[in-house]
Amino acid sequence: MNPLVTVVVAFRAVLRNKMRSFLTTLGIIIGVAAVIAMMAIGAGAKAQVEQAFSAMGTNLLIVMPGSTTAGGSFGGFGSMPTLTWDDLAAIRAEVPAVKAAAPQLRANQSIVSDELNWTTSITGTSPDYFEIRSWPVAVGAPFTQADVDAGSKVVVLGQTVVERLFGPSANPVGQTVRIGQSPFGVVGVLEKKGQSPSGQDYDDAAFIPMTTFAQRIQGGLGKFLTGTIFVQATGSDTTQRAMTDVQALLRDRHHIPPGGEDDFSIRNLSEVASAQQQGTETMTTLLASVAAVSLLVGGIGIMNIMLVSVTERTREIGLRMAIGAKPRSILLQFLVEALVLSLTGGLIGVALGVGTASWLAGKFRWPMQIQVDVIGISVVFSALVGVVFGIYPARKASQLDPIDALRYE
Amino acid sequence: MVAEPLIRVADVEKVYKTGDVEVRALRGVSLDVRPGEFVAIMGSSGSGKSTLMNLLGCLDRPTSGSYRLAGREVARMNKNELAEVRSEILGFVFQSFNLLARTSALENVELPLVYRGVGGAERRRRARLALERVGLGARLDHTPAQLSGGQQQRVAIARALVGDPKVILADEPTGNLDSQTSIDVMALFQELGRAGITIVLVTHEPDIAECASRVVVVKDGLIVTDREQVPRPARSAPAAGAEVHP
């Protein structure tokens, strides 16, 4: 029997019992749809986390001052300034795995333009900062080391702040804003960066030289650096070494004896990112395996209905054998029928899965990524389910004795 | 030159085992059928005639003995080889027609050719010719449910004919038909016999057996009578394409 005829005969047999065929394939449809929707949403979430962390900066370490201990109560990280300006200089100069380091001093302050005002996070830092966080300037230029040295009153604004102070798509470079009592010249506007992994708006910020920050906002440049230090390693493979080296350097500089507790802490952002990604991946795998179980159940449904079909058509099988069908032709006929069921279910499932994922993504504003390889694997897998669960009923049909089959009532 | 008979059954035994009980359905049967003969096999139920028919139809293999069909020894063939022999040499007609439901007469008749790998257009052409030969040229698209019993059996005969078989095997072909329709079907068989097709037919009705040119009676697994006779004409055969019972 030629393949085309076999497929046509199989399709006809499947269409003969439309409702039954549909219910049989429902297991596969739901299974495939669930796998595809889950994987699409999972991949979207993963991509979002990845993008969010790469927005924070690559190969990034954050050095935070340690905690105070007052009467047995721990004040939490950053409650006491333990990092000094000299520490920053030492990290820059003495650790080879460090590419750049910049302080981040923060305070919430109101910024006033000619007509509007907006309270935002003012950050005092050095020009390296924009490079460390891979955050280029869209209009104008970042402030320079000279500005830092001189304590110039210049500011680089984030997009959200520009919108609030000057309105959308305005170019504020060259204008003057007031922070506290002092006028600051706007020298640059940063590119839009979006949201942090925790949903914070990166663009709602303004940046001024660290020296200016210390003098104007903190009221004097002391010995201690009252903020955190952003450190960028030379590469992803040196991030870990940079971390241990910075730790050793700071312990030495702070005269902490061996076995003593650090009075600072270092966070490796790529570790945080990979931990979060792992969480997403675990969740996706879990959901996808539940969906895969549903595929298996769908396969059992197909086997069940194929067994019913073989029994129902015993006389037909006997007749086909009597007029010259070889056992192999009968086997193939029922196998192709199972395959038609499962593959049709798989394709409907793909359509439904893509539809569901898009709908969910639209409705709940979830990120989504349709993965072509997952679609391919799902279709192949559903075909496989058809073959695996169809082979037993098909074998049963092909091994019928034609005499008994013809006499079957 | 003496040609070998089309069917040569020699000392065939068939033993069925059901648990510990052995049933000897055939106990040494020998039978030769020459090309063009119209043989009626008779016998009561349990006589072994159905077993003999299954062996002749290559649906079953004898326990011992030899069966040569068209010069080939088929007694020891495997399932696939038997299927090929059935497809190439034999045509079957059953008591209950065994047509595929919800499938047109034309497609039912095409079926044996499908398993022979004949292409679609050629299949349809030959199926149409076969249906015309049994007088159903006007009912190609009817499904079995739209045909009378006699017409369904004609479709089944067309299906048996379509592959140009050397032998047509008919198992109680009139068993489900009323007497008038039975006569029509037998007339069709006689016409095919006159055209040179060898026919072996199983029946328990004496007046059906009278239409054959030879009657073989089976009893208790043995052939007890084997006689040639002048066939009684069933009726003048219907002209091709004409409907007897519209």
| Chain B interface mutation, best of A321, A323, A404, highest count of B Cβ atoms under 10 Å | A323
Chain segment B4-13, per-residue pLDDT in tens: 789 999 999 9
Chain A contact present for B135, CB below 8 A: no
Predicted complex ipTM: 0.90
The strand ranges marked E within A144-181 are 154-157, 176-179
Please report whether residue B245 resides in a domain: no
Chain B contact present for A71, CB below 8 A: no
In the prediction, which pLDDT does B56 show?
94
Chain A contact present for B83, CB below 8 A: yes
Instruction: Give yes or no for residue A220 having a pLDDT over 80.
Output: no
Q: What is the average pLDDT score of chain A?
A: 86
- Confidence band, pLDDT 50/70/90 cuts, at residue B241: very low
The per-residue DSSP string of A257-296 comes to PTTPPPSEEEEEHHHHHHHHHHHHHHHHHHHHHHHHHHHH
Please report whether residue B234 resides in a domain: no
Q: Give chain A positions within 8 Å (CB) of B88.
A: 324
Domain count, chain B: 1
Sequence spans of domains, chain A:
3-52+275-407, 83-262
Chain B contact present for A407, CB below 8 A: no
Residues facing residue B47 across a β-bridge: none
In the prediction, which pLDDT does A340 show?
94
Please report whether residue B26 resides in a domain: yes
In this structure, are residues A368 and A361 in contact, taking their beta carbons and an 8 Å threshold?
Answer: yes
Residue range A241-254: average pLDDT? 89
Residue range A146-165: average pLDDT? 90
Domain of residue B49: give its range: 7-228
Instruction: Give yes or no for residue A378 having a pLDDT over 60.
Output: yes
CB contact under 8 A, A327 and B88: no
Nearest neighbour of A5 by CB, restricted to B60, B83, B114: B114
CB contact under 8 A, A323 and B116: no
CB contact under 8 A, B59 and A402: yes
- In the block, tokens 């962390």 appear at A53
Cα–Cα distance for residue pair A35/A357, rounded to 1 Å? 10
Q: Give chain A positions within 8 Å (CB) of B79.
A: 326-327
Instruction: Give yes or no for residue B1 having a pLDDT over 50.
Output: no
| Chain A interface mutation, best of B86, B113, B164, highest count of A Cβ atoms under 10 Å | B86
Nearest residue of A to residue B165 by CA position?
A323
- pLDDT over 90, % of chain A: 33
Q: How many residues does chain B have?
A: 246
Residue range B170-177: average pLDDT? 92
Structure tokens at A170: 């305005």
Please report whether residue B21 resides in a domain: yes
- Confidence band, pLDDT 50/70/90 cuts, at residue A67: low
Please report whether residue B73 resides in a domain: yes
Nearest residue of B to residue A325 by CA position?
B115
Q: The domain that contains B77 carries what CATH number?
A: 3.40.50.300
Mean pLDDT lowest among A28-42, A119-133, A299-313, B231-245? B231-245
Structure tokens at A217: 């906002």
Please report whether residue B188 resides in a domain: yes
Radius of gyration (Cα) for chain A, nearest Å? 33
Q: Give chain B positions within 8 Å (CB) of A406.
A: 59, 94, 98
